[in-house]
Structure 1
Amino acid sequence: MVNVAVKAARAAGTIINRAALDVESVRVSQKQVNDFVTEVDHASEKIIIETLLGAYPGHAIWAEESGREHGAQDSEFVWIIDPLDGTTNFIHGLPVYCVSIALAVKGKIEQAVIYDPTRNDLFTATKGRGAYLNNRRIRVAKRTRLQECLISTGFPYRQEDDINTYLRLMGDMMARTAGLRRPGAAALDLAYVAAGFTDGFFELGLQPWDVAAGSLLITEAGGLVGNFSGDANFLEQKECMAANPRIYGQMVALLGKYSKFADAGDKAAVRAAVAEMAKASPAVEAVEESTPANPASDAPF
């Protein structure tokens, strides 16, 4: 199945690269303030859906632009698609964007492809078989101290975003890390954590198609991913955080107070849950007692 997803992602990447040659002529519309969609998003999504349903007509589709309009929506196989993550970067000619495709089977992410067409970088993962960049095995970074880490994030841009809270959140992180980065494409941010290019990632307001593929890359590369309190059932909660197990625990301790979904102070219960889930995850080699997380690839969406 991952090979079909790769074919779909590359086909979409061809459309994106062709359009990038004359990006000023691309038609752009606005879904809401600072949330853009282009004809390239739609064309990319169309070729992805056609490729996937051509191979698996009985599967369901859940895509950013067309929602759940396509496929057999009662299927236990659901393709979760972001045809162009980083649209704002794309329309400005900033070459940081990607195609993201994931397959959920009975609510669990089992296949993942993230394709960066500007660099021809292909990230893939199959549950239980590891994560890869251009066919080479990747692992999360090995740093163990948050103050030595480079962390990526996203900035608030919607009218309903609580900017003041986000500023406090980022201030807490800035004071305790080697640096923050805001590339502008969450799926690619997660892929970079999986590859060890950055040490961690956190962001509010993300949708399932932004994080589904990246979540499997993270866990298959030996990392952990969940919401700010460490709960792996995060795909529809609009909170996402990822890192290697040791750094993840430190990030939960720092950002858990900003989570809307759990009492970050209940440390004993969180530790117990993490310990059990870590034992069940072949991708995680070692988890410290204080690490409050579990693999999100096992979480229903």
Structure 2
Amino acid sequence: MNKNKIIKKAIEISQNAGDHAKNNFCEDGYKYESKSQTQDVTKIDKECEDIILSELKEISDEFKIISEEDINSHNQEIKENEYYWIVDPLDGTTNFRSGIKNFANQIALVQNNNVILACIYLPFENKVLHAIENEGSYCNNSKLNINHVHTTGNSLMNLESYLDEYDFKNLEKIRKEFKYVYSINSAVTSFAHFALGKTHLVYSCCDQPWDVAAGILIAKEAGATVSTPDNQAVDLFNPKVIASSSKDLHEKVIELLKK
């Protein structure tokens, strides 16, 4: 497998879909449907998905694809395949349909349930982040290195959550320790901003693999410490994730959550 060739094609596909969303962006808002109490979808989500899925199949029609808008793909049996894609064609739909520019897409290739290459595209920032396992993370082909911050008092935390009871309890345990806590309603964008050094910790309580698959690899390859809130390896299909800019900061947050 030529990973460099595949990531180059994945980036091209990601940009094609992201530019489609950007070209159809409307600051006055966009018509949408509600998939659930916490999830919206627009026509553009589906069009971006069509772009990505059709072009990924050109890389290999043997690789299965899990994509947010394709309900038929939401099947954990896909984990039995050696290779499969995880796709979010437009993460931050609520922002997009509200005329807010914080949205992104992500494409990740998984081998034996481990992400081996991934990319994220931020259309309005004109930034493509990508990573190949054990080869580092890059933004527009410039190598990324996490800005290591070691204490909570100097840290900016990004929270992405539907704020259920579990999340509220954990947030209450750690929020007072951080100087700033904010949310931009797009887990994919949050991981990108973290890898770019704009924030120092991401606490993602989103519950789907397409929210975090690419971000986890890009964060790790940029030098971050990544685990679940109870300091275990992340399960892509049950992805509560903390990504920290330093081991010291990570250990501090894990200890706070144990209380």
| Shared fold per TM-score greater than 0.5 | yes
Aligned counterpart, 1:37? 41
Instruction: For 2:236 and 2:227, locate their aligned partners in 1 and report how far apart those are by CA, in whole Å.
Output: 8
In the TM superposition, 1:154-193 aligns within 5 A as 154-156=160-162, 161-162=164-165, 165-193=166-194
**How many residues of Structure 1 are paired with residues of Structure 2 in the alignment?**
249
Residue 246 of structure 1, aligned match among 245, 248, 252: 248
- The yes-or-no answer on 1:19 pairing with 2:20 is no
**How much does 1:22 deviate?**
6.6
Moved over 3 A (4+): 21-24, 67-70, 165-168
Q: Helix, strand or coil: the match of 2:61?
A: coil
Instruction: For 1:218 and 1:55, locate their aligned partners in 2 and report how far apart those are by CA, in whole Å.
Output: 25
Contact 1:58 1:75 survives alignment (8 Å): no
Instruction: For 1:220 and 1:38, locate their aligned partners in 2 and report how far apart those are by CA, in whole Å.
Output: 33
* Superposed CA offset, 1:239-294 (max 9, x none): 1111132211111111245xxxxxxxxxxxxxxxxxxxxxxxxxxxxxxxxxxxxx
Q: Helix, strand or coil: the match of 2:218?
A: helix
Aligned counterpart, 2:13? 8
Aligned AA (1:166): D
Instruction: For 2:27 and 2:60, locate their aligned partners in 1 and report how far apart those are by CA, in whole Å.
Output: 34
Aligned counterpart, 1:99? 105
Aligned AA (1:252): I
Q: Which has the higher contact order (CA 8 A, sep 6+)?
A: 2
Aligned counterpart, 1:85? 91
**How much does 1:16 deviate?**
0.2
Which range moved further: 133-142 or 84-93? 133-142
Instruction: For 2:169 and 2:64, locate their aligned partners in 1 and report how far apart those are by CA, in whole Å.
Output: 40
**How much does 1:129 deviate?**
0.6
Instruction: For 2:106 and 2:28, locate their aligned partners in 1 and report how far apart those are by CA, in whole Å.
Output: 21
Aligned AA (1:30): S
**How much does 1:207 deviate?**
0.8
Computed over aligned residues only, the root mean square deviation of the Cα atoms, in angstroms, reads 1.9
* Superposed CA offset, 1:43-67 (max 9, x none): 1111001111012111110111114
Q: Say if 1:189 and 1:22 are closer, same or farther in 2 by CA, change over 3 A.
A: closer
Which range moved further: 32-41 or 237-246? 237-246
Q: Helix, strand or coil: the match of 1:248?
A: helix
Aligned counterpart, 2:158? 152
Contact 2:131 2:218 survives alignment (8 Å): yes
Q: Say if 1:125 and 1:67 are closer, same or farther in 2 by CA, change over 3 A.
A: farther
